[in-house]
Amino acid sequence: MALSLFRIFRFLRSIFTPAALIIGFSCLLTFIFVLYQPTPGPGSIQRLGWQSWDIISDAPVSGANSDVSESGGASQPTTGGQPEGVDWWNVTSPDVSSSSASLPLDVWDPLLPHDTGLTEIAITQCWIDPWYAPSVAGSMCYPGSTKEQDATKGKWVRVERNLNSQSGLMSLNVYYRRTRRHDLPVVTELRILPDRETPSPFGADWNKVAHSVNPSGHKLYLWYKMSKTLAEMSADERQNELVTEIDVLFGDDQPWYGFEKLDMPVLDHKAIVGRESVWLTYRRGVKPPPRAPPLHFSHDGRFKIMQIADLHFSVAQGTCRDTDLSPCSGSDNLTSSLLSRMLDIERPDFVVFTGDQLNGQGTSWDVRSVLAKFSRSVAERGIPWAAVFGNHDDEDGDSREAQIKYMQGLPYSLVEAGPKGIHGVGNYVLKVKSADPSMMHLLTLYFLDSGSYSKGFLNWFGFFVPTEYDWIHQDQIDWFLEQSASIDPIERPFTPDNAKDMGDIWARQAADQLTPDTRRLAKPNALMFFHIPLEESYAAADVNPDTGIPLDVGLHDLEGKGSAKKQDGFFHKGLLQAMESDHRAGGNAREVKVVGNGHCHVTENCRRVQGVWLCFGGGGSYSGYGRIGFDRRVRIYDISDYGETIRTYKRTEHNEVINEIVLAGRGLRNGPLPFARIWWRVRVQHRPFSFTANQYAEVQHTSHIPSFRQQITRTTNTRLFSDRLKFPSVRNQVLCFIYGSILVYWIAARETNVETYVWSTRLQDSGMAWKFRAPTNDEMRRARYYQFGKSLQAGLASLNTIVKEWPQTIKGIVTWAYVQVAQPILDTSEGRRVCWGIGAANTLVWLAWQMPRMQPLLTRSFVHNPMSGLSYTLFTSIFSHKSIIHLFINSMALSAFGAAVSHSLAKRQTENPTYLREATVRWHFLAFFISAGVFSGLVSHVVAMRFIFPRLVSRLSASASNTAPPGSLASASSFASAATARAVTSASTTVASSHGASGAIYATLALTALEYPDTEIAMAIPPTFPLPVTWGVGALVAVDILGVLRGWRRFNHWAHLGGVAFGALYHAYGPQTWEYCRLITLGRMPRSLSKQKEQ
């Protein structure tokens, strides 16, 4: 053997050199051949200057915020040519729009300001979506054309929006031709009509598209009118009648700016459940979106910013989440109405959307349709706005680069893509300038892209499941420091040119203020916005040295941390390094005073950490997750004194202004309590109770401070939570079990009686064998089995008819698969078929758990949480499994022991003294299974609410006693912080939620052990030796008792023990109870069902 290996290696060594030379020479020839290919010369058609259309627009890239004239520390006045009495931002800017003559005609881009007309429209259906394979689908999917037609009418242009994108593999696209010729008739009107209908008034200038425009096959056709040429049109007709662009809108909301919807949708969402409406939209003339004016302070030195966080808009009109608003449908529209009301009240100068404008999670799959509506409320009021990306924005549909391009084409947008060489999209700076002619830069606004996800995995269906959030990277830190260093200092506090006679308006401030009272050269104050918070947002807050109270205002700790697990140190390397002034006399004041984040919907506090305020906006949308009792809200930054003073507060959906606090400038006194209103939301009263430090002198007794129970209520925001702290509710759940079980058994008994009556009558009518006696149970079950087999055979025959024209190989595979599935179903017992049906239902629910957008619904409706107060979840939680291992083990156990229980129930039925014939046992087993699952969940609920949680509350509430004097401020702040209340909330997780069929399966185990005590079982995994079933069940019960005694929380041991108890009780009283239920529900059928006992 060694000799043979030696010969092999010697042979390989001998051929290595020539083989390497041959391979290397071949690669060299290949490279030379590829590189020698001729490049397009001057004679070839090339597109110059349009390789990157995101740079070309009808306005400068920097929009309204490009520096006009800055030199040194102050801007030079640029008043030349400005009319007297007209503000500098209202002066008409020179026309910088690009000429339409340079726009490409053979590329579809609805953002380009085309003023040329369409000469022909077509619709084609294709097996390949051209978006995925444009080179392959070009010849297959495009309408037919000739070179002469291309030269005369223009080349075909595909509208890159698949009308059939919601279903099927086939694509359905609109195509049109565009030309600059003035002697051809162009499209001036579009209509969609059913088959055999014509436009009215009809004329020869109307043309019908040959293919239906409806993706579901319904015969709807597109008509277009071509009545005039471009030469025959006036300027007004070109702007108001000429159709210059076609687009597609998904959903029933407003189309893109400048576009109009046709009168009839291409596909109505009411026609097909689960799909959204599809509309064709068109633009007449050129309608460039209005541009935002330069950001500027008012003449009295004020500038107001509204932060809107986490809209979570979808293609559909949205689904309300976690709100007590009723009725609540079309959450996106409700949110837009709420924002419109807040905008009218606050009248901000600038609006910031801090991420997650799109919901992602499979609901915002068409980005343009969602982006068309999210900023409409702001744009309708002519308010400039900007946005940053959140982690959900690019989960579906287009990339962030494409979304930036779209947002730049919306009215009053100041969004910028930022440099391409650093991480993320949307890292940019906006500057707010003074209102006087000096146009002094007084406030800086930084916008960063905090990314989406940094790590995840692919689930069973190939979908990406994220596990860790992204963070601000080192190259972004370097970019921020570079931008900060490029900002020139100004003389602060700023005095406008026309304010020399205002006198001494700058009040003396405290020594540690971020803005000293003396004039100095320093950078303007800055605010920063990005979506995912930093780790420091959850760090210990700075403490007021005068009162010892943390500088932390607002609600927090109602949800887990939203920061990334990793970071590159942006807080320490970036925020703390960007100083207000490089001079030593400038102190340690940071340039960035406030950081505004979104991401965490029920977190809305402002916390100062090492001199920087880290603030959350709080959820502002009914479409995003929230919490019952937690109002939707927006955060306001009211900046005054020409950028020196920054004040913030929140406005809620009930028009409450809460947590007003000065973050920088005049009015700051080392902490929020002396100047900020703290609102305590007491859910029992369902109205706010306000308490301010100015009113604290009136508070003399501890009873005026919110109680411990009220603090927990405020912390958890759970309706009637405080009532359950002292008197845990079990009455509703007990009644739910009683009434629910009665209803389940009534239905099961009724269906059993009906089915038995039907089969008994059918057999007696079939022949003379049962003329003088009633059919037995076995005879009726054999007849049912025979009929079931015939139905499976009929299904196979129908399948063969369907696949008759298919290829022989595929037809054989389909038939073989059907037989492989149907034969075991036919061969097994009736009880096991019922168990398989239950397993299939559990599998469907498990599949729903794998869909992120379904998890909030399943968590609320398919998991029984004793703290929720819900009762119906006792039933639904039986069919809910989150883990595939949990589902597999339960399904295997149910299949094994459920069949034995079904056989036992059928056997016990024949032993009852009041014998009733029974054609099927499946209804009896289903009633047993459901009642056992509900009973086991009820046992767990009662134990949790009567024993576990009351002990927990009493222990923690005892530790919440007030140790400070009742009339001291420290006492009030101790109670206001509600730290102990949050501890109760955290500790309440010891009250285990229940889901899964384990309790019902334990009932089948117990009933099997009691009915067949001599039966031996063997595990499918080692050790596989057989043991009596009573030993196995006894061992499981012992493990659960030990788990209860030791406080194990991996499994719901009380539910398991409850299932065992139900099985034991059913062994003793179950058959008699079932017989009684059948007798009650017999109605007029008793004589036909109980003629005689089986012989």
Instruction: Please state, as a whole number, how many other Cβ atoms lie within 10 Å of the Cβ of residue 1038.
Output: 10
Residue range 127-156: mean pLDDT, rounded: 81
For 802, residues 6+ apart whose C-beta sits below 8 A from its C-beta are none
Would the CA dihedral through 419, 421, 424, 429 be positive or negative?
negative
Going by the DSSP 8-state scheme, the letter that residue 64 receives in this structure is G
As a dihedral over the C-alpha atoms of residue 142, residue 147, residue 151, residue 154, rounded to 10 degrees, the angle is 0
Q: What is the pLDDT of residues 870-887, one digit of tens each?
A: 788 888 888 888 888 888
Residue range 669-694: mean pLDDT, rounded: 35
Ranking 255-264, 276-285, 525-534, 914-923 by mean pLDDT, the lowest is: 914-923
pLDDT at residue number 300: 92
**DSSP-derived 3-state class of residue 261:** strand
* Crossing angle of helices 884-909 and 922-943, rounded to 10°: 120
What tokens does 601 get?
A: 């919907």
Going by pLDDT thresholds of 50, 70 and 90, the confidence category of residue 480 is very high
Q: Output the DSSP codes for 863-928.
A: SB-TTT--STHHHHGGG--SSHHHHHHHHHHHHHHHHHHHHHHHHHHTT-SS----S-SHHHHHHH
CA 21 to chain centre: 58
pLDDT at residue number 722: 37
Going by pLDDT thresholds of 50, 70 and 90, the confidence category of residue 289 is very high
pLDDT at residue number 665: 87
> Reduced to 3 DSSP states, what percent helix, strand and coil does the chain have, rounded to the nearest 5?
40, 15, 45
pLDDT at residue number 914: 57
Ranking 57-61, 176-180, 323-327 by mean pLDDT, the lowest is: 57-61
Going by pLDDT thresholds of 50, 70 and 90, the confidence category of residue 82 is low
Confidence check: pLDDT of 501 > 60: no
For 229, residues 6+ apart whose C-beta sits below 8 A from its C-beta are 182, 183, 184, 185, 186
φ and ψ at 371, to 5 degrees?
-65, -25
3-class secondary structure per residue, 703-725 = HHCCCHHHHHHHHHCCCCHHHHH
**What is the rounded CA–CA span in Å between residue 404 and residue 931?**
55
pLDDT at residue number 605: 94
**What is the rounded CA–CA span in Å between residue 709 and residue 682?**
10
pLDDT at residue number 691: 33
The CATH architecture to which 303-495+520-655 belongs is 4-Layer Sandwich (3.60)
Domain boundaries, the chain: 102-284, 303-495+520-655, 731-775+828-959+989-1089
pLDDT at residue number 240: 92
Per-residue burial over 144-166, b if 16 or more Cβ lie within 10 Å, else e, is ebeeebeeebbbbbbbbbbbbbb
What tokens does 574 get?
A: 């970036």
CATH topology of domain 731-775+828-959+989-1089: Rhomboid-like fold (1.20.1540)
What tokens does 680 get?
A: 């305590």
pLDDT at residue number 368: 92
pLDDT at residue number 87: 81
Going by the DSSP 8-state scheme, the letter that residue 358 receives in this structure is B
Going by pLDDT thresholds of 50, 70 and 90, the confidence category of residue 681 is very low
Confidence check: pLDDT of 915 > 80: no
φ and ψ at 250, to 5 degrees?
-105, 135
Confidence check: pLDDT of 584 > 70: no
Of these ranges, 304-313, 825-834, 889-898, the one predicted with the greatest mean pLDDT is: 304-313
**In this structure, which amino acid lies at residue 777?**
N
Residue range 55-84: mean pLDDT, rounded: 44
Residue range 978-997: mean pLDDT, rounded: 58
For 532, residues 6+ apart whose C-beta sits below 8 A from its C-beta are 355, 390, 391, 450, 451, 469, 470, 471, 562, 563, 564, 597, 599
3-class secondary structure per residue, 360-391 = CCCCCCCHHHHHHHHCHHHHCCCCCEEEECCC
> What's the mean per-residue pLDDT of the chain?
79
Going by pLDDT thresholds of 50, 70 and 90, the confidence category of residue 408 is very high
Give every strand in the sheet of 385-388, ordered side by side: 385-388, 350-354, 303-308, 633-640, 645-652, 657-664
Q: What is the pLDDT of residues 1039-1064, one digit of tens each?
A: 888 887 777 767 788 888 888 899 88
Q: Which residue do the tokens 């162009």 mark?
A: 186
**What is the rounded CA–CA span in Å between residue 355 and residue 407?**
13
CATH topology of domain 102-284: Vitelline Membrane Outer Layer Protein I, subunit A (2.100.10)
Contact of 923 with 863, CB cutoff 8 Å = no
Residue range 467-471: mean pLDDT, rounded: 89
The CA angle 606-860-272, to the nearest 5 degrees, is 110
Give the containing element (helix H, strand E) for 597.
Answer: strand 592-597
Q: Give percent of the chain above pLDDT 90.
A: 35
Confidence check: pLDDT of 679 > 70: no
Confidence check: pLDDT of 460 > 90: no
Confidence check: pLDDT of 117 > 70: yes
Residue in 162, 317, 316 with CA at minimum distance from that of residue 248: 162
pLDDT at residue number 911: 67
Residue in 205, 129, 143, 131 with CA at minimum distance from that of residue 172: 129
Residue range 1010-1027: mean pLDDT, rounded: 72
Strand partners, 309: 619
pLDDT at residue number 481: 95
**In this structure, which amino acid lies at residue 464?**
F
Contact of 645 with 300, CB cutoff 8 Å = no
Going by pLDDT thresholds of 50, 70 and 90, the confidence category of residue 571 is very high
Count CA within 13 A, CB hemisphere, residue 832: 12
pLDDT at residue number 99: 65
What tokens does 559 get?
A: 């949800």
Q: What is the pLDDT of residues 97-109, one digit of tens each?
A: 556 778 888 889 9
Q: What is the pLDDT of residues 362-381, one digit of tens each?
A: 899 899 999 999 999 999 99
Q: What is the pLDDT of residues 928-977, one digit of tens each?
A: 999 988 898 888 888 877 777 666 655 554 544 444 444 443 444 444 44
Residue range 741-761: mean pLDDT, rounded: 87
Contact of 608 with 514, CB cutoff 8 Å = no
Give the containing element (helix H, strand E) for 33.
Answer: helix 2-35
Instruction: Please state, as a whole number, how many other Cβ atoms lie within 10 Å of the Cβ of residue 893.
Output: 17
Confidence check: pLDDT of 69 > 50: no
Contact of 699 with 972, CB cutoff 8 Å = yes
